[in-house]
Structure 1
Amino acid sequence: MSDLTRISLHITGLSCAGCAGRAERALAGVEGVSSASVNLANATGQVEAAGDVPLSDLTGALAAAGYPAAESQAVLTVGGLSCASCVGRVEQALLAVPGVLEASVNLANETAQVRYLTGMARAADLARAVSAAGYPARLSVAAADEAEQAGRRKANEINALRWQVLLAALLTLPVFLIEMGGHMVPALHHWVAANIGLQNSYLLQFTLTSAVLAGPGRQFYAKGFPALLRGAPDMNALVALGTAAAFGFSVLSTFAPSLLPAGTANVYYEAAAVIVVLILTGRFLEARAKGRTGAAIRKLAGLQPKTALVVSGGAAVETPVEEIGAGDLIRSRPGERIAVDGEVISGSSYIDESMISGEPVPVAKSRGDEVTAGTVNGNSVLEYRATRVGRDTVLAQIIHMVEQAQGAKLPVQGLVDRITLWFVPAVIAVAALTVLAWSVFGPAPALPLALVAGVSVLIIACPCAMGLATPTSIMVGIGRAAQMGVLFRKGDALQRLQEVRVVALDKTGTLTEGRPALTELICAEGFTRDEVLRLAGAAEASSEHPIAQAIVAAAGKGLPGADSVEAIPGYGLRAEVEGHAVLAGAARLMAREGVALGALGGEGQRLAERGETPLYVAIDGQAGALLAVADPIKPGTPAAIKAFHAQGLKVAMITGDAEATAQAIAARLGIDAVKAECLPADKVSAVKELQQDFGALAFTGDGINDAPALAAADAGIAIGTGTDVAIEAADVVLVSGDLRGVVNALTVSRATMRNIRQNLGWAFGYNVLLVPVAAGALYPFGGPLLTPALAAGAMALSSVFVLSNALRLRRLNPAIDEEGAGQAPGAARKQEASV
Structure 2
Amino acid sequence: MGKSRIILPIEGMSCASCAATVQEALTSATGVASATVNYATAKAAVDYDDAETGVAELIKTVRMAGYDCGQASVTFGVEQLHYAPSVASLEQALGAVNGVLRAAANQATETVTVDYVPGTTTAEALERAVEQAGFHVAEPIPTEDPVERERVARRREVRDLTWRFALAAAVAVVAMLGSMLLMAEQPDTTFKQVDLLGRLLMPLALRLHDTLAGRFAPDPQWLKLGLAVLTLPVVAWSGQPFYRGAWSGFKHRTADMNTLIGVGTGAAFLYSLVATFVPGVFTRAGLPADAYYEAVSAIIALILLGRLLEARAKGRTSEAVRRLAGLKVKLAHVVRNGRETDLAVEAVVNGDLLIVKPGEKIPADGIVTEGASAVDESMLTGEPIPVAKRIGDEVIGATLNTTGSITFRATRVGKDSALGQIVQLVEDAQSTKAPIQRLADRVAGVFVPIVIALAIAAFVVWFDFGPEPAVIFSTIALVTVLIIACPCALGLATPTAILVGTGKAAEHGILIRSGEALERLSRVRSVLLDKTGTITEGKPTVTHIVAAKRPDGTPIAPAEVLKWAAAVEQRSEHPLAAAILKAAKDKQVDILPVEKFALMEGRGIRGTVDRRIIEVISLRHARERSLELGTLGPDADRLAAQGRTPVIVVVNNTVYAVIAISDPIKPTAKDAILQLQRLGIGVTMVSGDSRKGAEAVAQEVAIEVVIPEVLPSQKADLVKKLQKRGGHVVMVGDGLNDAPALAQADVGIAIGTGTDIAMEASDITLIRGDLRGVVTAILLSKRILRTIRWNLVWAFGYNVVLIPVAAGALYPFTGWLLSPVLASAAMAWSSLSVVLNSLALRRFKPAWAA
Preserved CA contact (<8 Å) 1:138 1:323:
no
1:430 matched to 2:450: no
- 2:249 aligned with 1:227: yes
Pairing 1:407-422 to 2, within 5 Å after superposition:
407-422=431-446
- Once the two structures are superposed, what CA deviation does each residue of 1:304-327 show, in whole Å capped at 9, x if it has no partner? 111111123443211111112222
Residue 269 of structure 1 pairs with residue 293 of structure 2: yes
Q: Aligned-pair RMSD on alpha carbons?
A: 3.6
Deviation at 1:100, TM superposition (A): 0.9
Among 661, 665, 670, the alignment partner of 1:633 is 665
Matches within 5 A, 1:34-49: 34-49=33-48
Q: Is the 8 A contact 1:702 1:723 kept in 2?
A: no
CA contact (8 A) 1:541 1:549 kept: no
**Cα distance, 1:815 vs structure 2:** 3.3
- Does the C-alpha gap of structure 1 residues 255 and 397 become closer, same or farther in structure 2, counting only changes over 3 Å? same
Per-residue deviation, 1:519: 4.3
Pairing 1:524-563 to 2, within 5 Å after superposition: 537=562, 540-544=565-569, 550=579, 553=582, 557-558=586-587
Question: Which string of whole-angstrom CA distances, capped at 9 and with x for unpartnered residues, describes residues 8-33 of structure 1?
Answer: 10001100000000000000010121
CA contact (8 A) 2:365 2:394 kept: yes
SS at match of 2:760: helix
Which deviates more, 714-723 or 704-713? 714-723
Distance in 2 (alpha carbons) for counterparts of 1:257 and 1:549: 92
What is the CA distance between 1:676 and its match in structure 2?
Answer: 3.0
Which of 329, 337, 341 is 1:317 aligned to? 341
TM-score (norm 1): 0.88
The residue that corresponds to 2:710 in the other structure is 678
- Asked if the contact 1:489–1:731 (Cα under 8 Å) also holds between the matched residues in 2, the reply is yes
Which residue of 473, 478, 485 corresponds with 2:502? Answer: 478
2:87 equivalent in structure 1? 87
Q: Any residues of structure 2 matched to 1:596-607 within 5 Å, and which?
A: 597=631, 605-607=637-639
Query: Contact 1:335/1:379 (CA < 8 Å) preserved in 2?
Result: yes
- Contact 1:532/1:625, CA 8 A, preserved across alignment: no
| Pair 243,670 (structure 1): closer, same or farther in 2 beyond 3 Å | same
TM-score in terms of structure 2 length = 0.87
Distance of aligned partners of 1:592 and 1:742 in 2 relative to their CA distance in 1, 3 Å threshold? closer
Structure 1 residue 165 displacement after superposition: 0.8
Closer/same/farther in 2, CA of residues 262 and 722 from structure 1, 3 Å limit: same
Task: Give the match for residue 232 of structure 2.
Answer: 210
Contact map agreement 1:36 1:45 (CA 8 A) in 2 = yes
Partner Cα distance (2:59, 2:808) in 1: 43
CA contact (8 A) 1:8 1:44 kept: yes
The counterpart of 2:316, out of the listed 285, 289, 292, is 292
CA shift for structure 1 position 482: 1.1
1:249 match:
271
Secondary structure of 2:346's counterpart equals helix
1:744 to 765, 776, 786: 776
Alpha-carbon distance between aligned partners in 1 of 2:618 and 2:174, rounded to the nearest angstrom: 95
State the Cα deviation string for residues 726-748 of structure 1 (Å, max 9, x = none).
Answer: 91111111112222222222122
Instruction: State the Cα distance separating 1:84 from its structure 2 match.
Output: 4.0
Tell me how far apart the structure 1 counterparts of residues 435 and 175 of structure 2 sit (CA, whole Å).
47
The reply on whether 1:24 has 2:51 as its aligned counterpart is: no
Q: Residues 368-389 of structure 1, C-alpha deviation per residue, up to 9 Å, x if partnerless?
A: 1121211111111111112222
- 1:128–1:137 Cα contact (<8 Å) kept: no
Q: Distance in 2 between matches of 1:159 and 1:389?
A: 35
Structure 2: distance between partners of 1:733 and 1:560: 37
Per the alignment, residue 186 of structure 1 pairs with: 206
Structure 2: segments with no counterpart, 5+ residues: 185-201, 549-554, 607-615
**Within 2, Cα distance between the matches of 1:738 and 1:262?**
78
Alpha-carbon separation, structure 1, partners of 2:618 and 2:238? 84
**What is residue 170 of structure 2 aligned with on the other side?**
170
Identity %, equivalent residues: 44
1:195 matched to 2:217: yes
CA shift for structure 1 position 113 = 1.3
Q: SS of 1:98's equivalent? A: coil
Point out the more displaced range, 258-267 or 645-654: 258-267
Which AA in structure 2 matches 1:170? Answer: A
Give the SS at the match of 1:398. Answer: helix
Number of the residue aligned with 2:196 = none
How far the C-alpha of 1:49 sits from its partner, in A, is: 1.1
Q: In structure 1, list runs of 5 or more residues that go unmatched.
A: 525-529, 574-582, 818-822, 824-835
Aligned residues of 1:536 and 1:551 also touching (Cα < 8 A) = no
How far is 1:98 from its partner? Answer: 0.7
Match of 2:518 in 1: 494
Between the aligned partners of 1:130 and 1:159, the Cα distance in structure 2 is 39
Give the direction of change, closer, same or farther, for the CA distance of 1:321–1:592 in structure 2 (3 Å limit): closer
In structure 2, relative to structure 1, the CA distance for the partners of 1:535 and 1:90 (3 Å cut) is closer
Alignment length, in residue pairs? 801
Note the alpha carbon deviations across 1:81-109, whole angstroms, 9 max, x for none: 23243533332221121111111111122
2:763 pairs, out of 731, 734, 738, with 731
Cα distance per residue 1:212-246 (max 9 Å; x no partner): 10111122111113313543211000001110111
Compared CA separation, residues 330 and 626, structure 1 to 2 (3 A): closer
1:650-708: per-residue Cα shift (whole Å, max 9, x none)?
A: 11123333334333333332224333333333222110111123511011111533111
- TM-fit CA distance, 1:446: 2.4
The 5-angstrom pairing of residues 381-780 of structure 1 reads 381-519=405-543, 537=562, 540-544=565-569, 550=579, 553=582, 557-558=586-587, 597=631, 605-613=637-645, 628-721=660-753, 727-780=759-812
Partner of 2:195: none
Mean Cα deviation higher: 153-162 or 10-19: 153-162
Q: What's 2:6 paired with?
A: 7
User: Within 1, Cα distance between the matches of 2:67 and 2:628?
Assistant: 83
Contact 2:127-2:141 at 8 Å conserved across structures: no
Matched letter for residue 97 of structure 1: V
Tell me how far apart the structure 1 counterparts of residues 619 and 689 of structure 2 sit (CA, whole Å).
16
Q: Which moved more, 1:532-541 or 1:489-498?
A: 532-541
Contact 1:74 1:123 in 2 (8 A): no
Residue matched to 2:330: 306
Alpha carbons of structure 1 residues 354 and 700: separation in structure 2 relative to 1, 3 Å: same
Partner SS for 2:538: coil
CA contact (8 A) 1:180 1:270 kept: no
1:66 aligns with: 66
Partners in 2 of 1:4 and 1:561 — Cα distance? 49
Q: Distance in 2 between matches of 1:542 and 1:795?
A: 73
Tell me, yes or no, if structure 1 residue 334 matches structure 2 residue 363: no
Measured in 1, the distance between the counterparts of 2:723 and 2:479 equals 53
Cα separation, 2, equivalents of 1:27 and 1:601: 66
